[in-house]
Amino acid sequence: MSQNTATEYEAVIGLEIHVQLSTNTKMFCGCQLQFGADPNTLTCPVCLGHPGTLPVPNEKAVRYAIATGLALGCSIAPRSMFHRKNYFYPDLPKGYQISQFDVPICSDGELAGVRIHRAHMEEDAAKNIHVGESGRIHGAGRTVVDYNRGGTPLVEIVTEPDIRSGAQAREWLQLLRATIKQLGVSDVNMEEGSLRCDANISIRPVGATELGTKTELKNMNSFRFIERGIDAEIARQTALVNAGEKVRQETLHFDPSTGSLTSLRSKEESHDYRYFPEPDLVPVAPPAELIEEIRASLPELPLEKADHFENGLGLSVDTARFLAFNAEIGAYYQEVLLEAGADVDAKRTADWVTGELVARIGADADPAESKVTPVALAQLVTMVGEKKVTNAGAKTVLDRLVESGGVPEQIVEAEGLAAMGDGDELAGIVDAALEANPKAVDDMKAGNMKAIGAVIGFVMKQTQGRADGGEVTRIVREKLGL
């Protein structure tokens, strides 16, 4: 056998996504859900796990779970049950989490080529905050628990291992996030933890069908970290295997600041969760009419939206998908289109949003939270279309808008950025340009129109970009009789 035929590996990745539902109240009690409230002000005997208390499921959360399942193409179980998942941890007040086990409410779906194994309902854990040593008698540090978050309704979505790279994981998650956002069932805010993702990762020789030993990458809180974390783990596993070592089944944490992966110790050494049917709850059996009613009320979802952007508005595939999968940017774009009116060029508007604006505020930012209102951007795009401002001038206007907001027309006025028309002033500057570039004039006369660049450059410099390149060309041709 040839020595230099290194084995090629492919990654096999499955994702587990926890989505906090944006109901008014918790999954099993009437405590209000509110991010960032003072610790332990949103609790009651039920979500503190007091003796004798009982859970009563939130109807809205069940509805949201069904909507999520339907949007992911899942079947909805005619009768699903809650189970208890038993383990001890301070953030788990009852000593068990109410979750679903063998009959989840949603199963067997698919989103953009990635199969959904299941999506089930459960309750979130509370928040543990570690506090340092404080001279207390018992032990060193303490963990302080805030039960406000405890009991938040969650949908846990589990994919089949259909993903092959970090980049694919990121793109798919963006689509998932946009889909859920469009449904209106969650804020899907990764920083606040309303969308959390774990990845199961293994590698195998290309062409192999059986799965390698997988590791679990926990709780990555941005799309960028997910991509980097997964790629780092694939690289780690590949290096291990190439060095003749074995991948060990373990749970890992990715540190984005150092790019390193560290092994986490498990909560319950054995993972013997002793699931059994939750005797405090009866089955959830959504009537067929309810499922159909929810199905009928689903909004246009990102995949449909991408189709509309591409085939309805004529955007490129990439731009269409980018806008559809990045929920906030897509929504902003649609808003700008709406403000700009029917005559605006959808494609050019898309370029302004996905190119110029995103370049200035970053792809992770929500443009709606920038200082550039959709009305302002719509006005700017319209002005460009009407040649009231040149592309270069408009970019300067956008810089100002991003910095401090405002109205494009006023900025153009105040900074003298209005495009020069075909008036005498521009003709005079063209004359000066021709005079200053005799060689270019000769070249053009000799048939080399490329030489006009020098002339346009001169004019642009003189006018600080307010001149329209097309207009300058027209005047030059006229003056030289070309």
Partner 1 sequence: MIERKDVEYVARLARLRLSEEEQERMARELGAVLGYIEHIEELDLSGVEPTSHVVDLVNSLRSDEVRESLPREAALANAPEVVDNGFAVPAAGS
Partner 2 sequence: MSADLIALSAAQAAVALHAGEIDAAELFSAYADRVAGEQIGAYLWREEGNPLVERPADFRSTPLAGVPIAVKDLFCMEGVPSTAASKILEGYLPPYTATSIARLQAAGASVLGKTNMDEFAMGSSNENSGYKTVKNPWDETRVPGGSSGGSAAAVAAGLAPWATGTDTGGSIRQPASLCGLVGLKPTYGSVSRYGMIAFASSLDQAGPITRDVTDAALMLKYMQGKDERDSTSTGLPDEVELPSATDLNGKRFGVPSTIDWSGVQPGVKAVFDAAVERLTALGAEVVEITLPHAEHGLSAYYLIAPAEASANLARFDGVRFGLRSEGEGLTAMYENTRHDGFGAEVKRRIMLGTYALSSGYYDAYYGRAQLVRTKIADDFRAAFNKCDFVVTPTSPTVAFKVGERVEDPLAMYLSDLFTVPMSLAGIPAISVPAGLATPDGAAQAAPGDDGALPVGLQIAGPAHSENALLDAAFAFERATEHMPAPWER
Under rule CB under 8 A, residue 52 binds partner 2: yes
Under rule CB under 8 A, residue 8 binds partner 2: no
Under rule CB under 8 A, residue 90 binds partner 2: yes
Instruction: Find which of partner 1, partner 2, none residue 285 binds, CB within 5 to 8 Å per kind.
Output: partner 1
Stretch of 37-45, 199-207, 213-221, 232-240 contacting partner 1, by CB under 8 A: 37-45
Instruction: Find which of partner 2, partner 1, none residue 81 binds, CB within 5 to 8 Å per kind.
Output: partner 1
Under rule CB under 8 A, residue 293 binds partner 1: no
Under rule CB under 8 A, residue 276 binds partner 2: yes
Q: Which residues contact 103 (CB under 8 A, 6 or more apart)?
A: 77, 79, 80, 81
Under rule CB under 8 A, residue 101 binds partner 2: no
Q: What are phi and psi for residue 212, nearest 5 degrees? A: -80, 180
* Of the candidate residues 10, 16, 35, 48, the single one contacting partner 1 (CB under 8 A): 48
Residue closer to partner 1 by CB (options 3, 134) is 134
Is 127:145 a contact under the CB 8 Å cutoff?
yes
Strands 276-277 and 260-264: unpaired
Q: What are phi and psi for residue 12, nearest 5 degrees? A: -125, 115
Residue closer to partner 1 by CB (options 22, 379) is 22
Buried/exposed 137-162: b ≥16 CB within 10 Å, e otherwise: eeeeeeeebbbbbbbbbbbbbbbbbb
The DSSP H or E segment spanning 474 is helix 469-480
Question: How far is 388 from 307, CA to CA, in rounded Å?
Answer: 33
Stretch of 32-40, 213-221, 301-309, 382-390 contacting partner 1, by CB under 8 A: 32-40
Q: Which residue has the tokens 């004359």?
A: 431
Under rule CB under 8 A, residue 132 binds partner 2: no
Number of residues that bind partner 2 (CB under 8 A): 32
Q: What are phi and psi for residue 380, nearest 5 degrees? A: -65, -45
The DSSP H or E segment spanning 167 is helix 166-183
Instruction: Find which of partner 1, partner 2, none residue 151 binds, CB within 5 to 8 Å per kind.
Output: none
Stretch of 25-33, 202-210, 423-431, 441-449 contacting partner 1, by CB under 8 A: 25-33
Question: How far is 109 from 308, CA to CA, in rounded Å?
Answer: 23
Under rule CB under 8 A, residue 45 binds partner 2: yes
Q: Which residues contact 211 (CB under 8 A, 6 or more apart)?
A: 12, 161, 202, 204
Question: How far is 265 from 297, CA to CA, in rounded Å?
Answer: 44
For residue 4, CA distances in Å to 1, 7, 8, 9 come to 9, 9, 12, 15
Instruction: Report 112-131 residues binding partner 1 (CB under 8 A).
Output: 128-131
- Helix, strand, or coil here: 197? strand
Question: How far is 246 from 238, CA to CA, in rounded Å?
Answer: 10
Instruction: Report 79-98 residues binding partner 1 (CB under 8 A).
Output: 79, 81, 88-91
Stretch of 6-14, 54-62, 358-366, 416-424 contacting partner 2, by CB under 8 A: 54-62
Residue closer to partner 2 by CB (options 272, 343) is 272
* Of the candidate residues 130, 138, 248, 439, the single one contacting partner 2 (CB under 8 A): 138
Under rule CB under 8 A, residue 84 binds partner 2: yes
Under rule CB under 8 A, residue 268 binds partner 1: yes
Question: How far is 126 from 48, CA to CA, in rounded Å?
Answer: 10
Structure tokens at 80: 């699903």
Instruction: Find which of partner 2, partner 1, none residue 53 binds, CB within 5 to 8 Å per kind.
Output: partner 2
- Side by side, the strands of the sheet bearing 276-277 are 96-99, 83-86, 276-277
Residue closer to partner 2 by CB (options 95, 355) is 95
* Of the candidate residues 286, 302, 367, 408, the single one contacting partner 1 (CB under 8 A): 286
Q: What 8-state DSSP symbol labels residue 32? A: B
Under rule CB under 8 A, residue 24 binds partner 2: no
Residue closer to partner 1 by CB (options 59, 478) is 59
* Of the candidate residues 9, 96, 147, 333, the single one contacting partner 1 (CB under 8 A): 147
Of residues 48, 328, 315, 297, the one with CA closest to residue 178: 328
Least separation in angstroms between CB 263 and partner 1: 13
List interacting residues with partner 2 (CB under 8 A).
45, 48-57, 84, 86, 88, 90, 93-96, 138-139, 143, 145, 270, 272, 274-276, 279-282
List interacting residues with partner 1 (CB under 8 A).
23-25, 29-32, 38-45, 48, 56-62, 79, 81, 88-91, 128-131, 134, 138-147, 265, 268-270, 272, 274, 276-277, 279, 281-286
